[in-house]
Amino acid sequence: MFQQNLSPVGDSLALSALCATLPLLTLFVLLGGLRMKAWVAGLISLGVSLAVAVVLFGMPVGQALLAGTEGAAFGFFPILWIVINAIWVYNLTVASGHFDVLRRSFEKVSPDQRIQAMIIAFCFGALLEALAGFGTPVAITVVMLMALGFRPIKAAVVALIANTAPVAFGALATPIVTLAAVSSGASDDPRLTVETLGAMVGRQTPILAVIVPLVLVLVVDGRRGVRQTWLPALVCGAAFGLAQFVAANYISVPLADIVAALVAAAAVVLLLRVWTPSEVLTAERAGAEEDELERAGSSASGRRQPHGVSTSVTSSTGRAATPGSGSGAGAGSASDDTPVHDSTSEVVKAYAPYGVIIAIFSIVNIPAIKEFFADEPYTYSFSWPGLEVLNPAGEPVATTTFAFNWLPAAGTLMILAGIITMLILKVSPADGLRTYGRTYVELKSAIITVMAVLALAYVMNLSGQTGSLGAWLAGTGAAFALLSPILGWLGVAVTGSDTSANALFGALQVQTAARAGLDPVLMAAANTSGGVLGKMVSPQNLAIAAAAVGMAGREGDIFRKVIGWSLGLLLLMCILVGLQSTAVLSWMVP
């Protein structure tokens, strides 16, 4: 048995916290600075976390290794279990040729890539986040963007940045439900409920929602994009933010993202009936402009795009050899001038897999059905064999219990959606199985990366490294209001999950608030709202995005393109929470 000590290095919390940053610094330097492949960086950083746990934090070698194995197992189930099966469903649509039909359908809504980024990455991604979470929105929307002609790295960056404001209410508000559970046990404040915490988060993340579509437009087309498409971006963000606020405060916290996603998409589509941009940024035009920029900058950088990247959809996805596909993802590419007419039945079939996903997740998340599947034989919870860890207060750490919800897991539901998709698209069982096996091969690097990073997260959490960092930040007193979102950001950057970050730091937030004279509801909510901005730099999500676009090993390139946005929006959230803790915006706290 091992009991955590938050100040093991020289009996100093500050020095211990500094040492606890070593695994994270190693990971981010290897990814962003040295451009090392994510799976290699993950394994090296895992080794650093084990060394820090054993040598500096006094964790027995056996317990440290067991913590790593539990994290690796959690990385595969439920996280990779969702991603693998979500990409399998996508590969089935490619194999049948219906993904091209879907692409052409989206092009009819708008051929402008800036509008497509809003509708697909932000609105549709938010809907997927609301229903599934855990990387599903990134895995699915990124390949949809590529099918529309987005370059791989741009598709990944857009999908990651878009997956921010909806995260707090993801998987039917699972992060907030978790936050309420852990924070209410650490304080006697009666306001620490799902409803009140959801209302508070609903007064923070909607502000992000207004900004994110503008950021997406800037990423896709620079300042020209903002100048020409600021109106739909503002309409999209404002509609989403307003709907999220209203739903979280007055309708239903679990349904907040579903309502917001549908309202935002409808607002953009309605606007497009009466408004068009002065110039249309088609896939062909965007590709030609990017090719010109690459040629101009290739001699200076000494690096070129990998073979196969061009303006056509086939090469832009990097998936010309997608399992089961005769012509790859690019059949009928965006550069094809020959008009293609798709029948209504083919369009319906193209949308069917995503309709099936939404229907299945909606049904399973009905409270009565969700409760039915929450117990055996559909869900098993057990203590990880041999792993015995106590927190500094001498209480067992909850994360040593592993929940194996084999049937209601989002990944299992994705398999069911895939089987139904095979029937609808008339994919034979043999082709479906071959596609499934090849999906694992395609994602082999991402599988190693995610399992290594989650192993690192569990070692850091169970050895006390993450707790030491949190306790040190919590010692700043009233200034903690400005730093509170950083804790959530840190938790999500390490674990890739806002739910995990809330489980990790939720109690600490309300305890620190009590000591510093701050509002516990505000501080707990800040953990969630700050955490959503760590999602885009989490190695777990970077690996998912890179694997989905066929760029495994280039996670560092994606990281460098999103880290600035992550930190910039985090600064904005810190300022907002700081103002909400003072008389300036204290009226926003319920």
What pLDDT is recorded for position 327? 31
Q: In angstroms, rounded to a whole number, what is the distance separating the alpha carbons of residues 521 and 524?
A: 5
Range 558-579 average pLDDT: 94
Range 149-161 average pLDDT: 92
Helix (H, G, I), strand (E, B) or coil at 118: helix
User: In terms of pLDDT, which residue wins out, 79 or 318?
Assistant: 79
> Nearest-5° angle of CA 177, CA 181, CA 186?
145
Nearest alpha carbon to residue 353 among 109, 102, 123: 102
Q: In angstroms, rounded to a whole number, what is the distance separating the alpha carbons of residues 520 and 515?
A: 10
Q: In angstroms, rounded to a whole number, what is the distance separating the alpha carbons of residues 290 and 68?
A: 42
Share of the chain above pLDDT 70, in %: 91
Q: Which of 32-46, 112-126, 200-214 has the lowest mean pLDDT?
A: 32-46
Nearest alpha carbon to residue 497 among 275, 243, 178: 178
Share of the chain above pLDDT 90, in %: 39
Q: In angstroms, rounded to a whole number, what is the distance separating the alpha carbons of residues 467 and 509?
A: 12
Q: In angstroms, rounded to a whole number, what is the distance separating the alpha carbons of residues 248 and 326?
A: 46
pLDDT in tens, 93-118: 888 888 788 778 877 888 899 999 99
What pLDDT is recorded for position 332? 38
Residue 568 confidence class, pLDDT cut points 50, 70, 90:
very high
300, pLDDT greater than 70: no
Lookup result for tokens 């995990």: 500
Mean pLDDT over the full length of the chain: 84
For the chain, which residues make up each domain, given as ranges? Answer: 9-588
What pLDDT is recorded for position 297? 67
User: In terms of pLDDT, which residue wins out, 31 or 528?
Assistant: 528
Pairing state between β 380-383 and 389-390: unpaired
Residue 48 confidence class, pLDDT cut points 50, 70, 90:
very high
DSSP state of 396: B
Q: In angstroms, rounded to a whole number, what is the distance separating the alpha carbons of residues 123 and 143?
A: 15
What pLDDT is recorded for position 330? 36
Nearest alpha carbon to residue 411 among 78, 82, 75, 74: 82
Residue 187 confidence class, pLDDT cut points 50, 70, 90:
low
User: In terms of pLDDT, which residue wins out, 531 or 36?
Assistant: 531
CB 88 within 8 A of CB 435: yes
3-state secondary structure 223-252: HHHHHHHHHHHHHHHHHHHHHHHHHHHHHC
Q: In angstroms, rounded to a whole number, what is the distance separating the alpha carbons of residues 566 and 279?
A: 29
